[in-house]
Amino acid sequence: MDGMIALLKRGNEAQRMEQVAGEEGVSLVDFLSLAAVRFLDMVYLLQDAFDAMDGSVPLDRRLDMFDPAYMVATARHVSAHKEAACQYFTRITGLFNNLNYAAMDAPDFARLSPDIQTLHESVPITERRAA
């Protein structure tokens, strides 16, 4: 949990830098932190009040979803440029959002979980972010 809080703080700092300097003025490391925080916000912290599945999520499902979201958000992704990182986070965010809308016993849920793991494993990672 401490790692997640540290990431959120780092992402907040990176967002402030981006507001001042623009995306071009933010280093790749800061861009990756910001992308990870935006991912976390979109797939875990925010809920869709208009969707029956995502609008009121039972605690056990939120706890089950925490580990995969934490895995993605805290990994140090190796990326040569911001565009590749942006493509990765866009794809994985889409998969997680679809997972959020699927019932745990639905075929989509069973299909999406391995898709997320496969995509995550396809991107080189040096280490987990330190708290």
- The most confident of the ranges 13-22, 47-56, 77-86 is 13-22
- The pair of three-digit structure tokens given for residue 111, joined into one six-digit string: 């299909």
User: Tokens 């933010």, residue?
Assistant: 26
Contact 19, 11 (CB under 8 A): no
- Read off the amino acid at residue 40: L
What does the mean pLDDT of the chain come to? Answer: 82
pLDDT band (50, 70, 90) for residue 24: confident
User: What is the band of 76 on the pLDDT scale with cuts at 50, 70, 90?
Assistant: confident
Confidence of residue 54 (pLDDT cuts 50, 70, 90): low
Asked if residue 130 has pLDDT above 50, the reply is: no
Residue carrying structure tokens 């991107």: 123
- In order of 47, 61, 81, 88, 116, the CA distances from 33 in angstroms are 22, 26, 14, 13, 19
Once rounded to an integer, what is the mean pLDDT over residues 78-95?
Answer: 87
Q: At 107, is the pLDDT very low, low, confident or very high (cuts 50, 70, 90)?
A: very high
Nearest-angstrom CA–CA distance, 119 and 68:
12
Name all domains of the chain by residue range, CATH numbers in brackets. Answer: 2-128 (1.10.1140.10)
- 110: helix, strand or coil: helix
Q: What percent of the chain has pLDDT over 90?
A: 17
The pair of three-digit structure tokens given for residue 38, joined into one six-digit string: 């935006």
Environment class of 103 (CB within 10 Å of its CB; exposed 0-12, middle 13-18, buried 19+): exposed
- Section 88-99 average pLDDT: 93
Cα distance between residue 86 and residue 62, in whole Å: 25
